[in-house]
Chains A and B, each alone.
Chain A
Amino acid sequence: MSGPQHAAPRPSLAVWKFASCDGCQLTLLDCEDELMAVTDRVEIAYFLEASSAVVEGPYDLSLVEGSITTAVDAERIKEVRRQSRTLITIGACATAGGIQALRNFGDVEELLRIVYATPEFLSTLGTSTPISDHVEVDLELRGCPIDRRQLLEVIGAVLAGRKPAIGDHSVCVECKARHNTCVLVAHGTPCLGPVTHAGCGALCPSFHRGCYGCFGPSEGADIAAMTSVLRAQGMSEDEILRLFHTFNAWSEGFREPPVGPVPVALSPSRLSPSRLSPREDRP
């Protein structure tokens, strides 16, 4: 018989934040029922959202949230990689640049002038890019936010030394397994499920809503064919562009959906102060 479960040191876990909203880190804290089991198996060595106590690296498993938007972060992620045996990125920011990657389509200097009173205080890159653009990533967990079952699956798989069951097929596969009604075919509701990466358990269609693609493109997704479907459902060119340009706008699949010309006011590079900052007009 081997000794007690903790005779060997527990693998260390670090959770890192880059440009993000913290929602994916919260998903780990939301694992209330499983959190004690997680802490029993891994030593949470660095997780500032949960504890200010920090254990020095290196770390066996790093979970990285957020995208790279500053020169400082572009260097910091390299250090995180150096300190991490396994590095897994979590969420749309870390895997695709996130919603803040909308800046990639426009002029960041112009946006800064529109949004901030004193833009000269800011130091930022012109782009928001996924972690995989900067360092080697061992696995990506998609979603905005990530799915807690997938997070636990990955942690469990790493601990067991097995392949995690994280498929890169479409949301439709999950929808059909759940015996959901297809909102696209039966209700005429625009839905990105056919080209969106599975993992959420078909959450939105389960509540009769179309998928809005928060897990980004699935493997083999045909965006041009999907665009035709959305057009046939009555969506305008700018509505189609907006549907793709949300949380995963900078992902390779969703970046340039083949849409016709859209009104200039909707093009991010043409965002005017009157459209974006009506604050002074408000009572």
Chain B
Amino acid sequence: MIAPTVRDGTITPDRIDSAAELPIGYTDDQDGGHYRLVPTGTDEYFASSSPIDSWKRFLSPPEALLVRGRSSSTDLEVEPVVPDPVAFAFVGIRACDLAAIGLLDRVFLAPDAVDPTYATRRREVFVVAVGCVHPGATCFCASMGTGPIPRDGYDLALTELYDGDRHEFLVDVGSDRGAAVMADVSGRPAVAADDEAAAARAERAVAAMGRQLDPLDPPRAAANPEHVGWGDVAGRCLSCGNCTMVCPTCFCSATQDRTALLGDGVERWRVWDSCFTADFSSLHGNPVRATTESRYRQWLLHKLVTWHDQFGSSGCVGCGRCITSCPVGIDLTAEIRVLAES
């Protein structure tokens, strides 16, 4: 069971064993390069916005064994690697992150290129989504059309209805598996007033989003590859790669061959990589994208523009993690606005 949980002064998705490990009584204060845990003084379970880290590590781990081999004097014998079966329950996942998994599905489960590691981990996931009623200052899922209320891809979707006296969950059943779980849960039938209360909360959440992104800006920015704004943002960018590491849809990886000191075994591993590293675009020893400016442009325009060509939608779900986790607080919603100006 993976759920947002309090750890080291943040709320991050991690393994929990009971509901007591949910971030009860905590929310978060997020801004560019800034995250702080804040007590709410209530016993709400889901008063926070998107966790500081994404959920992708559970489906596409930072390191994954792809192939195991054995070299003889004349040949290399390759053994298939069958990933260990895993059955996750994702509890408390927000609409933005559910949308991100939908995007990763297109990458890793494409009919002609199914990734065994991802497929094995994804297959059994039981999703208990949560409507996000406390978006943060870096959130803009409403702009990206992914939230704050999950629309599909869940077994159960909860909306926490809390107003001091009342503390209930409105449950939307999204699958047979979800219905089977709810058969064991006590409660009362929802009435129209419950739906109205949930809708009102969602409406307030949309109004409370701290950031916005105009969908017309990315194509305009793509038409400005020489805009001075690219150099300006590169002058602030550390090229540390944090944005790509925390992005719930950044999926790029490198492959590493590992040999043991003794014996003839060899393993090929896939490891997370970032388009902000020189190695990422190195061909024959030199990087195609040698400057931070070219790397930032590649990242932003792939995420917001060419992702459409490749996967049929934007690669950004509006979770705001890249803003929060950027040590210098670079804000893609602000950058794209500048870069779109002619």
Identify the A interface with B (CB < 8 A): 1-2, 34, 37-38, 40-41, 152, 155-157, 159-160, 162, 165, 167-170, 172-173, 176-182, 184-187, 193-195, 208, 218-222, 224-226, 228-229
Q: List residues 201-250 of chain B with CB under 8 A from any CB of chain A.
A: 235-242, 245-246
The answer on a CB contact under 8 Å between B8 and A186 is: yes
Bound CA span A178–B327, Å = 18
Bound CA span A235–B271, Å = 35
* Chain A nearest CB, measured from B341 CB (Å): 23
Other-chain residue from B9, B34, B242, B295 in contact with A176 (beta carbon distance below 8 A) = B242
The answer on a CB contact under 8 Å between B261 and A219 is: no
Q: Residues 32-65 of chain B: 1 if any A CB is under 8 Å from the residue's CB, otherwise 0?
A: 0111110000000000000011000100001100
The answer on a CB contact under 8 Å between B242 and A194 is: yes
B73 within 8 A of A: yes
B123 within 8 A of A: no
Other-chain residue from B8, B53, B245 in contact with A173 (beta carbon distance below 8 A) = B245
Known: A172-B241, A176-B246, A181-B10. A186 touches B52 (CB 8 A): yes
Known: A177-B245, A179-B53, A194-B240. A160 touches B259 (CB 8 A): yes
Bound CA span A156–B257, Å = 11
The answer on a CB contact under 8 Å between A37 and B236 is: no
Known: A172-B241, A229-B328. A181 touches B259 (CB 8 A): no
Identify the B interface with A (CB < 8 A): 7-10, 12, 14, 33-37, 52-53, 57, 62-63, 73, 235-242, 245-246, 254, 256-262, 266, 271-272, 274, 276-279, 292, 295, 324-325, 327-328
* Chain B nearest CB, measured from A17 CB (Å): 24
* Chain A nearest CB, measured from B275 CB (Å): 11
The answer on a CB contact under 8 Å between B262 and A37 is: yes
CB-CB under 8 A from B262, the residues of chain A are 37, 40-41
Bound CA span A156–B262, Å = 9
Bound CA span A1–B266, Å = 19
* Chain A nearest CB, measured from B28 CB (Å): 9
The answer on a CB contact under 8 Å between A220 and B276 is: yes
The answer on a CB contact under 8 Å between B261 and A155 is: yes
CB-CB under 8 A from B57, the residues of chain A are 179
* Chain B nearest CB, measured from A213 CB (Å): 13
Known contacts A176-B242, A226-B327; 14 additional CB pairs below 8 A are A2-B73, A169-B241, A169-B278, A173-B272, A176-B272, A177-B245, A185-B34, A185-B35, A185-B324, A193-B240, A218-B239, A222-B235, A222-B236, A222-B238
Bound CA span A187–B7, Å = 12
* Chain A nearest CB, measured from B234 CB (Å): 8
The answer on a CB contact under 8 Å between A182 and B279 is: no
CB-CB under 8 A from B10, the residues of chain A are 181, 186
* Chain A nearest CB, measured from B291 CB (Å): 8
